[in-house]
Every structure is written in C-alpha cells, then in structure tokens.
C-alpha cells in the first residue's frame, strides 16, 4: 500500500478531492537579474502571481529552509547514488551504462531506449515511477521527493535489482 494511502488509513481519512496550486518563479543572484532587470518580460510564467499560490510557495520555502531539506537531499542523494552505482555494476555494460546525479536528481543510462523502457515498465510494476529524458528512455530520471527516507531508497534499489535481473535473464 502506498505511503499516502497508509497515512489516510491511519488517520481514518477519506480523500474526496486532491488539489494543488501551480506556482512559477524565477530566483537568482544579482548577476543573473541585472541583464533582465530593465525587461521583466524576458522570463515569465503563466503560473505566477496568484496570492494563494504565492502564500503557499512562501510557506513551502520556509519549510524547506527550516527543515534543511536541501541538506537532507544532498545526504540522501549521495547515499542513493552510491547504491545505484553498486546495483548496476553487474549489469554494466550489457544493460546499464551509468548512474549519475546531484542530490535527489538522479539518472540511469542504458544501452538503448528499449532497455530503458523495459526498466521503467518493470519499476512501474513495482510501484516506482520514473521518467525518461523528454521522450528518450535511454536515460531515465529518478526524482524522488525531498522527504524520501533511506528505507524507501532501499525499496527502490531492491526493485531496480529485481527488474535488472529479469531483463538480464531475458537477454
């Protein structure tokens, strides 16, 4: 059962409607801002400006800072990447080519798009959602939430190893 479903069940809640608010923003240093300062329309977003979305964005930024989620992302990401590299090693270079990333923005590169699609489909069967890079599955992205636990990282690693073994046995 997915963690969100367990959370709802634990508190005996029933979900009737799940909503979210889009928000777009451009944040940068003075060096980045100076060239566009005289023309603010060089960067725009259709999701900017809503007072409710802005309040939600500010609250989100406060939580990210107060809970040091970027530090957590760096630490967890380093552990996750090391485990990915170890997991793909037996399948390199005939299935996998590389595991790389920064923080929790991770990627796996495969020998071709067919293998990437097969891995993505296998992980989806294990309830893990990954994405290709644009429409290319030769490299798939693993971008978990900032709040992923090490236990959840291990679940992903176990599922990935299972899927890679299946594909290896078929090749």
Q: What digits encode the pLDDT tens for the residues 67-82?
A: 999 999 999 999 999 9
Q: What digits encode the pLDDT tens for the residues 109-154?
A: 999 999 999 999 999 999 999 998 887 899 999 999 988 999 999 9
Q: What digits encode the pLDDT tens for the residues 5-40?
A: 666 677 776 655 556 667 776 677 888 777 776 776
Could you tell me if residue 90 is inside a domain? yes
pTM equals 0.73
Statement to judge: residues 60 and 96 lie in one domain: no
Statement to judge: residues 89 and 37 lie in one domain: no
Q: Do 132 and 156 form a contact (C-beta atoms < 8 A)?
A: no
What range defines the domain where residue 35 resides?
Answer: 20-66
For residue 165, count other CB atoms closer than 10 A to its CB.
Answer: 14
Statement to judge: residues 90 and 44 lie in one domain: no
CATH number of the domain residue 129 falls in: 3.90.1150.10
Q: What is the mean pLDDT of residues 156-160?
A: 98
The number of distinct structural domains making up the chain is 2
């Amino acid at each position: 059962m997915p963690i969100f479903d367990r959370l709802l069940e634990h508190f005996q809640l029933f979900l009737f409607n799940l909503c979210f608010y889009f928000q777009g923003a451009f944040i940068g240093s003075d060096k980045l801002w100076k060239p566009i300062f005289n023309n603010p329309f060089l960067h725009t977003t259709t999701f900017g400006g809503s007072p409710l979305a802005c309040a939600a964005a500010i609250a989100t930024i406060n939580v990210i800072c107060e809970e040091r989620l970027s530090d957590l992302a760096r630490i967890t990401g380093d552990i996750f990447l090391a485990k990915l590299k170890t997991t793909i090693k037996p399948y390199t270079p005939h299935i996998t080519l590389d595991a790389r990333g920064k923080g929790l923005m991770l990627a796996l590169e495969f020998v071709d798009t067919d293998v990437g699609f097969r891995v993505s489909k296998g992980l989806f069967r294990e309830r893990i959602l990954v994405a290709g890079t644009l429409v290319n599955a030769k490299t798939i992205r693993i971008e978990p939430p900032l709040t992923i636990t090490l236990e959840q990282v291990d679940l992903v690693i176990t599922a990935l190893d299972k899927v890679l073994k299946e594909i290896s046995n078929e090749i």
